[in-house]
Amino acid sequence: MLNKKVKSIILAAGKGTRMKSELPKVLHTMFNKPLLGYVIDAVNKTGYINENFIIVGHESEKVEKFVKENYENSKCILQSPQLGTGDAVNKATPYLKDFDGYVIVVCGDTPLITAETIKNFVEFHDNNHADLTVMSAIFENPKNYGRIIRDKNNKFVAIIEEKDATIEQKEVKEVNAGIYCINWKTISDAFNHLHNNNAQGEYYLTDIVKWAVEKNLNVQSYILKNNDEIFGINSKIHLAQATKTLNKKSIEKLMEEGVQIVDPDTTYISPETTIGADTIILPNVYITGKNTIGKKCKIGPFSHVRDGAIIGNNVRIGNFVEIKKSVIKDNTNVSHLSYIGDSELGSHVNIGAGTITANYNPISKIKSKTIIKDGANTGSNSVLVAPVTINEMASIAAGSIITKDVEAYSLAITRSPLKIFSNWVKKKIEQLSGGNK
């Protein structure tokens, strides 16, 4: 257990020019969750951090809106203009006056970083009584990374950015992972001594290492075990690569827990979704957001489960079905080509092919709820216009549009009477041929 309080500074001010987008880089999503959200969650899940300072810049209003709506323990601080990472961290110093604890610095565009790694990193810093600890990684091809420079005694003495590195320094394979743990009381003064006399004309956060070494402070490096965790998102290509990496990890974990995933290459499952053992996920299933899926279910192929779904045991979700923010209880079938949104389905319900819960009013912008109770069923191509309740064991006839509650054990039908016009096609053909057979 740490004896020090811990706060974080998360760097999220960059424009992300290579993303070619008006959206701030840190608000681009994986499984419908912004990159910044993954980083804040990783920091919070360590159990050590009680306050986060998010450094914002480009489109700051959008980033701040996301943070305010989702994280009570996080505060946004504006960096304008953006003068480098050292300047960014320095923006938080007024909020850390007289703080006697650790401050971790993390980049907001590294969504693969895990709480476990950050927790181990902080504990390493604490156990070594360090003043400053830098997370590092070993790369066979370290291009574009700042190099960890050591003296002849292997003592960590500096970080040199690639643009400022000599040919010899560029051969170093140990690189800066961009994550720092700072003993704030002993290191904070370093931010008063940063200079921008470098190739970029910026204030580098890495220069605090040189300052600490010159002060004979205890500077350590913590070598990362899994280099994927510091993969930074700088383009849409990077975004796709990171999504695949995250998805692979999620799918492998589920399979180890007893979930059968028929084709991992075509299946995408959010890491925030839990799935019970012996559930079968068929190809081309896409599951985003935070969902709970029970045991012995069968989902797909070509199904889409969105955020907020709670699915019980032994549930069948057919092909080309979309589920959104709905509760589906045990032993229920949702057949193919259906949409179930903002709904609550009981047990032993059967949803016929093509059933739609019409949950959204485009005029009022209100989404309403559909409730289908135990044992009820809908015929093919039914439309249930919410708010509406289908009570126990009720049956909806195929092709019906339901706008009122349906009582238990009853049949609801809105189908027009069938009319058959004999020889109608034959007469039309004769008319078009001018009466000539």
Catalytic residues: 336
Query: Do the Cβ atoms of 327 and 371 come closer than 8 Å?
Result: no
Q: Whose structure tokens read 């994550």?
A: 179
Please provide residue 107's backbone torsions phi and psi, each rounded to the nearest 5 degrees: -85, 140
Q: How far apart are the first and last CA of the chain?
A: 94
- DSSP letter at 93 equals G
- DSSP letter at 415 equals P
Cα 350 to Cα 194, 201, 344, 355, 372, distances in angstroms: 67, 66, 13, 10, 10
Cα 3 to Cα 43, 83, 100, distances in angstroms: 18, 34, 11
Q: Would you say the C-alpha torsion 121, 74, 178, 181 has a positive or negative sign?
A: negative
- The two three-digit tokens of residue 385, written as one number: 């216009």
Whole-angstrom Cα distance, residue 424 to residue 430? 10
Cα torsion 53, 57, 62, 63 to 10°: value is -30
